[in-house]
Amino acid sequence: MTNQNVVMSNGGGARTDSWVDSMRASSPTRIHPFPSISPDQSSWMVRHPSALDIFDEIINASKGKQIVMFLDYDGTLSPIVDDPDCAFMSDAMRATVRKLARYFPTAIVSGRCRDKVYNFVRLAELYYAGSHGMDIKGPSKGSKYKKGTKGVFFQAASEFLPMIDEVCKVLLEKTQSTPGATVENNKFCVSVHFRRVDEKKWIELIQQVKAVMKEYPQLRLTHGRKVLEIRPTIKWDKGKALQFLLESLGYANCADVFPIYIGDDRTDEDAFKVLRERGQGFGILVSKVPKETNASYSLQEPSEVMVFLRRLVQWKKMTLRRQFRMKRQLEEFAI
Ligand SMILES: O=P(O)(O)OC[C@H]1O[C@H](O[C@H]2O[C@H](CO)[C@@H](O)[C@H](O)[C@H]2O)[C@H](O)[C@@H](O)[C@@H]1O
């Protein structure tokens, strides 16, 4: 499999054609339709079973611990579509996430800028980490999970704002000759989309982007699903954002926390890795095809994510009801 996280600091080093190979692998267009699962796919499924199939095991592992939910947006809560401005989540998904946040602290962690992802999700009770975790804000009305604290707010790369703005403008200009290429300003990072670019033009596009990057050694280039990502070279990513949010919620050195991170893209791997290293909770990769991943489990698509989240809510409701009934019985017994 192609290197998952090719990182260039200033456009030098990695060769253009290897970048094109990575771009091709970044979001495979051919999907083996179920049930004609290839041997590769079935052995991958053994290593990363469906989170729906082993739901009871997950619940058992979380017993006595506080589940904290981290959800990526594109490809996880909303299906991947050609136009990034039209990546709407369904009302059913929104209702599910709303219920989820009633029972568990819940954060959205996205590559998009925070305002944009908020406008898609529109749930004020959540934590949001935009720009790949570089822009974090807690619920606008304060958190019911962390009472008495001032709102959470952290921007890891504020000094890069003018540079990102500038590079965004330059990229817009340089890439306009490549039909289908679009540039998205994500505040602390920039996305150059190639989903609608003819594959024959990918080399041209990567050359245009690399030429711009040469002038900005403080920025690095990575890629996700049919998108090139330009962001500051600082050591901050979705994994760091996850750690920051756990700390903000008071679970820094806590053994009784069980974080679950669900994501579909390369940038989510940083968060999956942190969970593996902490030995707490686990990651779930949303993918229909085998991918090298640090996630423990898998789900095929956003519709399965919704089923999984609903089951979590149902289980929590049942547990709380059972606890309430037991408490009442004990009280009656005491009288
Ligand atoms: O971290 P995420 O919330 O998954 O954001 C990653 C990128 O998502 C968006 O692009 C992706 O989704 C688009 C809409 O489905 C799709 O057209 C594009 O090809 C995908 O790469 C977003 O537009 C990017 O800015 C994010 O970086």
The CATH number of 16-27+158-232 is which of 3.40.50.620, 1.10.10.10, 3.30.70.1020, 3.65.10.10?
3.30.70.1020
Cβ of 116 below 6 Å from ligand 1:
no
At residue 26, the pLDDT reads 73
Cβ of 270 below 6 Å from ligand 1:
no
Distance CA(177)–CA(182), nearest Å, equals: 11
Chain centroid offset of residue 322 CA: 33
Rounded distance from Cα 77 to ligand 1 centre (Å): 11
Cβ of 187 below 6 Å from ligand 1:
no
Asked if residue 98 lies in contact with residue 125, where contact means CB atoms within 8 angstroms, the answer is yes
At residue 36, the pLDDT reads 62
Rounded distance from Cα 308 to ligand 1 centre (Å): 22
Cβ of 240 below 6 Å from ligand 1:
no
Which of these ranges, 52-66, 99-113, 148-162, 198-212, has the smallest mean pLDDT?
148-162
pLDDT, one tens digit per residue, over 28-55 is 654 444 456 677 788 999 999 999 999 9
**ipTM of the shown complex:** 0.99
Atom number in ligand 1 closest to CA 195: 19
Mean pLDDT, range 169-185, rounded to an integer:
98
Residue nearest to atom 13 of ligand 1 (CA): 84
Asked if residue 188 lies in contact with residue 157, where contact means CB atoms within 8 angstroms, the answer is yes
Rounded distance from Cα 323 to ligand 1 centre (Å): 41
Rounded distance from Cα 45 to ligand 1 centre (Å): 25
pLDDT, one tens digit per residue, over 85-131 is 999 999 999 999 999 999 999 999 999 999 999 999 999 999 999 99
At residue 27, the pLDDT reads 67
Asked if residue 78 lies in contact with residue 87, where contact means CB atoms within 8 angstroms, the answer is yes
Mean pLDDT, range 254-261, rounded to an integer:
94
Higher per-residue confidence, 37 vs 156? 156
Residue nearest to atom 15 of ligand 1 (CA): 80
Percent with pLDDT over 90 in the chain: 79
Rounded distance from Cα 246 to ligand 1 centre (Å): 25
Angstrom CA distances, 139 to 111, 150, 240, 243, stand at 19, 10, 19, 17
Site of tokens 């979380």: 62
| 176: its two tokens | 């306009």
Residue (of 268, 271, 217) closest to 243 by Cα position: 271
User: CA 114, 120, 125, 126 torsion: positive or negative?
Assistant: negative
Give the model's confidence band at 12: pLDDT under 50 very low, under 70 low, under 90 confident, else very high.
Answer: very low
Residue nearest to atom 25 of ligand 1 (CA): 112
Rounded distance from Cα 330 to ligand 1 centre (Å): 52
Asked if residue 229 lies in contact with residue 111, where contact means CB atoms within 8 angstroms, the answer is yes
Residue 151 is given by DSSP the state P
Distance CA(158)–CA(135), nearest Å, equals: 9
Q: Which of 29, 71, 74 to mutate to test the pocket of ligand 1 (most atoms within 8 A of CB)?
A: 74
Rounded distance from Cα 327 to ligand 1 centre (Å): 47
Give the model's confidence band at 7: pLDDT under 50 very low, under 70 low, under 90 confident, else very high.
Answer: very low
Mean pLDDT, range 187-202, rounded to an integer:
97
Cβ of 225 below 6 Å from ligand 1:
yes
For β-strands 282-286 and 127-130, DSSP reports them as unpaired
Chain centroid offset of residue 270 CA: 10
Cβ of 73 below 6 Å from ligand 1:
yes
pTM score, whole prediction: 0.91
Cβ of 130 below 6 Å from ligand 1:
no
Q: Which of 17, 21, 72, 165 is catalytic?
A: 72
Instruction: Locate the domains of the chain by residue range.
Output: 16-27+158-232, 49-151+237-327
Cβ of 72 below 6 Å from ligand 1:
yes
Residue 148 has pLDDT above 60, yes or no: no
At residue 25, the pLDDT reads 78
Residue 72 bears catalytic tag = yes
- Going by C-beta distance under 8 Å and a sequence separation of 6 or more, which residues neighbour residue 124? 139, 140, 141
Give the model's confidence band at 149: pLDDT under 50 very low, under 70 low, under 90 confident, else very high.
Answer: low
Mean pLDDT, all residues of the chain: 91
Distance CA(44)–CA(291), nearest Å, equals: 8
Mean pLDDT, range 323-334, rounded to an integer:
87
Mean pLDDT, range 163-185, rounded to an integer:
98
Percent with pLDDT over 70 in the chain: 90
Q: Where are the alpha helices (DSSP H) in the chain?
A: 16-25, 39-47, 55-61, 91-103, 114-121, 161-175, 202-213, 238-248, 269-278, 302-334
- Kindly report the CATH number that applies to the domain delimited by 49-151+237-327: 3.40.50.1000
At residue 19, the pLDDT reads 84
Cβ of 80 below 6 Å from ligand 1:
yes
Cβ of 26 below 6 Å from ligand 1:
no
